[in-house]
Chain A
Amino acid sequence: MAQAPELKLVPTPGQTIGPFYGYALPFEKGNELVNQAHPAAVRLHGVVYDGNGEVIPDSMLEIWQADEHGNVASADGSLVRDGYTFTGFGRVPVDNVGHYTFTTVNPGPTEEGKAPFIMLTVFARGLLNRLFTRIYLPEDTEALANDPLLASLPEDRRKTLIAAREEDGSLRFDIRLQGEDETVFLSYPRES
């Protein structure tokens, strides 16, 4: 991998989302990437925890993912949904007990043999800058074993990035901002 080119401008600092985004950012069907009646609909859900293992009731999550065939969507309508177009984007405020649900599809691999994952961004009161992570699907164990990010992590950290498949087909993915089993959060090239 070549070296990422230097930035020409210094990025603007982030700040916390604060406590009062609830009337501004959530939007209708923000957590429905597809309708629940869609034949491939899957529930992705979990809980956001703080360093004491307490739930965080004022966090907002966003996901961005490929469709079930591994295609990256480029259609607009991510905010005003028509109920039919898959735009790949979802946003949801967690509920009073820190729980979230998205209705989506299992993303397909964007390239043959790659481990499919959903990109996740975490915002919260008390969190001074957004955090990025990945939600891997648990099924393709060979692709998971060959994934460069997962391979670079020790076993106990790697498992924080792999969702569990529940009996009804739902994906379960909890997020721990701190503490034992702290979720692996990511940085990317060209952030500064």
Chain B
Amino acid sequence: MSTQTAPDESFENAHVLDPAASTASQEDISTEIRDIHEAYRQQVLAGAKEETQPRVDFAPYRSSLLRHPTKNLHHTDPETIELHSPAFGQRDVHILESDLTIQHNGEPIGERIVVAGRVLDGDGRPVAGQLIEVWQANAAGRYVHKRDQHPAPIDPNFTGVGRAITGPNGEYSFTTIKPAPYPWKNHHNAWRPAHIHFSLFGTDFTQRMITQMYFPGDPLFALDPIYQAITDQKARDRLVATYDHSITSHEWATGYNWDIVLTGSNRTWMEDEEGDH
């Protein structure tokens, strides 16, 4: 496990700001977000393609200023290794690792939930037998990570890390505790909407992705420069789980559904093409 430390978004040096951060107010950040979104809407009205991914250059998220490429991504056709993906299996992940509420001696505090869904590729095919990893804050908005010094309680019965291998139809299910929002240091009085981090693999390594799942109706959505770095509302909605009463279980846990779509595999069509020669 990593033990690295750095004085930035943590609270261990509360007086030290990220050099790239400012003392901007929420109003400043919200105005910047609004201006970028308005410019995007005008581009779409003028015929530009709708965006589906976050911008990597998104100034309201101050830490992105010096950490995004300024040159366009260079388009390339994948070679053999890029058409395959590392393999994970039952050797790698125990079946109980998908229940984040049973990792310690007692029950964690908070609202017990089940988050379930499917991992699909861009062709709608299930991604079966692949690794899916999650991590999150506890019910008080605190991560176990030593750099998180937010003065909210650590729950001795909750670590907030889960893993699973997707089923034959790409399905997964995690039992956990609903995470709380937490403060961070992007700007004055900055709060992240509650979220669960997800890490995903596909059948091609080019489909690798890490993202965050949010909960419906979070009042912090409009204020959050990480979520709003996705300029398109339809794309933003794809990160929000749906309350699903068919996943909710009697006297036990409420349920949320969230399906994840990876990019398209290039293996099938490129191999078919090779077969044509």
Q: B238 contacts A13, CB within 8 Å? A: yes
Q: Once the chains are docked, how many angstroms separate the CA of A77 from the CA of B265?
A: 23
Q: Which residues of A contact B134 (CB under 8 A)?
A: 24
Is B161 part of the contact surface with A, judged by Cβ < 8 Å? yes
Chain B hits for A190, CB < 8 A: 122, 263-266
Contact B133–A25 (Cβ < 8 Å): yes
The B167-210 residues at the A interface (CB cut-off 8 A) are 197, 199, 205-206, 208-210
Q: What is the minimal beta-carbon distance from A82 to any residue of chain B, in angstroms?
A: 8
User: B133-158 interface mask toward A, CB cutoff 8 Å, 1 = contact, 0 = none?
Assistant: 11101000001111110000000000
Interface hit among A34-42, A85-93, A163-171: A85-93
Interface majority SS (helix, strand, loop, mixed), chain B: loop
B105 CB–A CB distance under 8 Å: no
Q: In the complex, A2→B277 CA distance in Å?
A: 12
Taking the nearest CB of chain A, how far is it from the CB of B207, in angstroms?
9
Cross-chain contact A121 with B205 (CB below 8 angstroms): yes
Task: Count residues of chain A with CB under 8 A from any CB of chain B.
Answer: 87
Once bound together, how far apart are the Cα atoms of A127 and B61, in whole Å? 10
Q: In the assembled complex, which residues on chain B have CB atoms less than 8 Å from the CB atom of A96?
A: 4-6
Closest to A116 in B: B81
CA distance in complex: A187, B75 (Å): 5
Of the candidates A13, A76, A192, the one whose C-beta lies within 8 Å of that of B54 is A13
Residue of A1, A14, A21 touching B135 (CB-CB under 8 A): A21
Query: Given A75-B87, A87-B87, A177-B67, A14–B124 Cβ distance below 8 Å?
Result: no
Identify B2's interface contact among A10, A23, A185, A186, CB under 8 A.
Answer: A23
- The CA-CA distance from A92 to B157 in the complex, in Å, is 27
Q: Is there a chain A Cβ closer than 8 Å to B230's Cβ?
A: yes
| A:44-85 near B, CB below 8 Å | 50-52, 54, 56-58, 62, 64-66, 72-80
Quick check: B86 and A127 within 8 Å, CB to CB?
A: no
User: Which chain A residues border B123 with CB–CB below 8 Å?
Assistant: 5, 7-9
Within the assembled complex, what's the spacing in Å between the Cα atoms of A148 and B124? 30
Does residue A152 face the partner (Cβ distance < 8 Å to B)? yes
Q: Is B218 an interface residue (CB 8 A)?
A: no
For B86, the chain A residues whose CB sits under 8 A away are 64, 73, 78, 87-89
Checking B56, B89, B121 against A127 with a beta-carbon cut-off of 8 angstroms, the contacting residue is B56
The reply to whether B262 and A11 contact each other, CB–CB distance below 8 Å, is yes
Docked CA distance A60–B53 (Å): 20
User: In the assembly, what is the distance between CA of A25 and CA of B148, in Å?
Assistant: 16
CB-CB nearest in chain A for B123: A8
Measured between alpha carbons, how far is A113 from B162 in the docked complex, in Å?
A: 43
CB distance from B31 to the nearest CB of A (A): 20
Q: Are A62 and B208 in contact (CB under 8 A)?
A: yes
Given contacts A8-B124, A128-B226, contact A110 B261 (CB under 8 A): no
Per-residue contact bits, chain A 154-185, to B (CB 8 Å; 1 contact, 0 not): 00010000000000000000000111001111
A50-B66, A110-B79, A177-B67 are known; give 12 further A-B pairs, CB within 8 A.
Answer: A14-B210, A16-B64, A20-B135, A22-B1, A24-B134, A26-B2, A87-B86, A123-B210, A126-B64, A128-B56, A188-B77, A188-B266
Name 30 A/B residue pairs within 8 A (Cβ), A-sorted: A2-B269, A5-B264, A7-B264, A10-B122, A10-B235, A12-B260, A13-B52, A13-B53, A13-B211, A14-B211, A15-B54, A15-B197, A15-B239, A22-B1, A23-B145, A24-B197, A25-B133, A50-B66, A64-B81, A64-B85, A76-B90, A96-B6, A124-B67, A125-B9, A126-B20, A126-B67, A130-B210, A132-B208, A177-B66, A185-B69
10 closest residue pairs by CB, A with B: A190-B264, A126-B63, A24-B135, A76-B89, A89-B86, A22-B2, A79-B92, A7-B122, A126-B67, A110-B80
